[in-house]
Amino acid sequence: MTVPIFCVDAFTNHPFSGNPAAVAILDEDAPEEWMRNVAAEMNLSETAFVAKQSKGEYGLRWLTPTIEVNLCGHATLAAAFVLWEEELEPGDTITFHTKSGALIAKRVGEYIALDFPTIEVAPAPTPDGMMEALGLPADLPVHLGERYYLIEVESEAALLAMAPDFAKLKKVDAFGVIVTAPGADAEVDFVSRFFAPAAGIDEDPVTGSSHCRLAPYWAARLGKQSFSAKQISRRGGELKVRLLGEGRVELQGQATLVWKGAITAP
């Protein structure tokens, strides 16, 4: 017995860019140990495990090579893409039941729109050693939103020039760190990078969950509700971001299939 499994590059429209996620399509919930082993074997930032519950309704869990996470944007986008690309789901709306509640994906032309919760950030003390590990000035303001720290630097060039010491950053009491800046291109509102060595990911290529925090942050900074965003990792990715109100944000992106196959079932 085997389980269908796919590798999808998310938040991009061409292969070998964006953020790769593995997507396993299950007939029913799988044993915890098996899912952890599969995620470790895939060795991608996240592997999504999708189990159909009823028409348009699916259970969804996300595992890194080392831990399970509560919210993941790119692997949700990848999961929705696979269900539609493989004609496993006929409707244009999918509801995923997750540890972060019900998350809705919709087809919008060539894009997939994800309805996610916003996560507010607030000024916070700087964890010991974090700025040194990031190679940033110690006096930069730091914000915190549900285990992710957020720091704004002065320019996209400064953000691109960052070369964190990941061994040091892994020892810092910080699950993840978002560093952001205004976009250098007039058509891009803001850019970002995301580091999470404590979760087994030195730098994530494109991070949906970080944009749940970036959206309200930049709304306050720029006085607008809709944004064009780029994550300027080595692979890079693009998102359309829109605050919906009532604590929700819409993340729009594209995806492309890289490979598909099968893995031994539990």
CA atoms of 14 and 225, how far apart (whole Å) = 28
| Residue 222: both structure tokens together | 């720029």
Q: How far is CA 257 from the centre of its chain?
A: 17
Q: Quick one: which of 16, 69, 66, 11 has its CA closest to 36? A: 66
Which of 126, 182, 123 shows the shortest CA–CA distance to 153? 182
How far is the C-alpha of 237 from the C-alpha of 206, rounded, in Å?
A: 6
Query: Which amino acid is residue 100, in one-letter code?
Result: S
Catalytic residue among 46, 203, 238, 250: 46
Pairing of strands 57-63, 111-117: unpaired
| 46 is an active site residue | yes
Instruction: Name the token pair of 134.
Output: 């990031």
- Per DSSP, the residues of 170-214 read HTSS-SEEEEEEE-SSTT-SEEEEEEEGGGTEEEES--HHHHHHH
Dihedral angle of Cα 200, 68, 89, 252, to the nearest 10 degrees = -60
State the catalytic residues. 46
